Structure 1
């Protein structure tokens, strides 16, 4: 089942609190983030804060054909570099997002960058994606301080479907031979991504089924890390034609 709106708000708060705890525990804000080449932990924290402020501004603006002007979420000052001030700034960033989402409710329309995907252009759709954004960056931060933890099961299971629905599904034609790619979580949930000249669409499978041209197996946590580029194909359990998966990773429908 897709997570309900109150659960999404709870998970944004929980993952954000864990992110702040991780930043607070770091020996330095200048340590490099292994999964975000070129970034320090400070850079990651600034990205998390500004990203949540941007999401709040987008939801607050309501239905639109374009995102609001950057001045709506970024005053140009950036995040404070002193640790306690940075943690307070992160808290304010998350509070701004949470209060905006609560005020809007799940069905309020807004601009999103995933216009032709299977995810709705609503505050609920934004909240669902924000859970994953914060959760994956919390993992990045934990890895940076040497204490990575698996994503909570409810986050990871929804994360696979959310990524496929938001980041993979599109009306842009797949530029290769049609193919079906299956993703199987060891927790007992499976999805099929259908790639064709009509674009890409994902369906949840009742159970693992035959007929896919390529398939990936793993825990929901591992599947999310793979989809977000935090794990390589070499570390995943694959079946079928690996080249399809390589092409899918390289595909940019917006190009």
Structure 2
């Protein structure tokens, strides 16, 4: 398991993934192409969503504090012409990176997640935007007919960020306590525990996995595991042991 990514690396990854997104957009036959992994969305809708999110978080890290009401989005729609849309996306990303750099990693800000494993800071917001850009770049590549395996470092962090930001909650688990192990081949393993106290995760060693059998376990490449968590590939596409229905119950919770 790698150490947490530094703030400068997170900013670089936002820039790189956003550039890859724009490249997929430039290569697409047209912006009206459907995005198979985002039902009901076209490539234009996806681009508008990503640029809106970049500007939204640029505002948040500089102008909000934990506990504030959810900020409003600016309501600006991206241009529909590809020649104008691509620089619009680049500008939105630059706004985000500049705001994050000006705020610094430790600045507190509003966030929608519980501050248990992922704090309400600019660094956590940057990490969330890396994951968003990573997955939506895959979406754009898929719609363009050129899907690529996720970069390993970004995919590893996206897995752990998802478990920390999306899955770590205090909402009681409505069923019997359970554990789900996620094994990304040659990249790392994690255990998600759900019970009356909510949901939490730990990094998992081979010894822990062997000594404490989980309710279910999933095995795949690091790219497959990240895509599975974001429901970009079907549950049955990876090898699973134990309670096959647990993953679906976790996704529905």
Q: Could you state the TM-score of these two structures normalised by the residue count of structure 2?
A: 0.95
Give the match for residue 227 of structure 2: 225
1:147 corresponding residue in structure 2: 146
In structure 2, the partner of 1:187 is: 186
8 Å CA contact retained: 1:58, 1:68: no
Matched, 1:111 2:110: yes
The answer to whether the Cα contact below 8 Å between 2:189 and 2:205 also exists between their aligned partners in 1 is: yes
Map of 1:234 onto structure 2: 236
Paired residues of 1:174 and 1:198 also in contact (CA < 8 A):
yes
Task: Report the Cα offset of residue 116 of structure 1.
Answer: 4.2
Unaligned 5+ residue runs, structure 2?
Answer: none
In 2: Cα distance, 1:97 partner to 1:136 partner: 18
Q: Secondary structure at the match of 2:52?
A: helix
- Confirm or deny that 1:81 pairs with 2:83: no
Q: CA RMSD in A?
A: 1.2
Q: Deviations over 1:13-34 (max 9, x none)?
A: 0000010111111111101110
2:225 maps to 1:205: no
Equivalent runs, 1:95-174 vs 2, <5 Å = 95-174=94-173
For the residues of structure 2 that align with 1:68 and 1:199, how far apart are their CA atoms?
23
Aligned partner of 2:177 in structure 1 is 178
- d(CA) in 2 for partners of 1:120, 1:187: 28
Runs of 4+ in 1 over 3 A off after TM superposition: none
Deviates further, 4-13 or 109-118: 109-118
Determine if contact 1:15/1:135 at 8 Å carries over to the other structure: yes
Q: Is the 8 A contact 1:67 1:112 kept in 2?
A: no
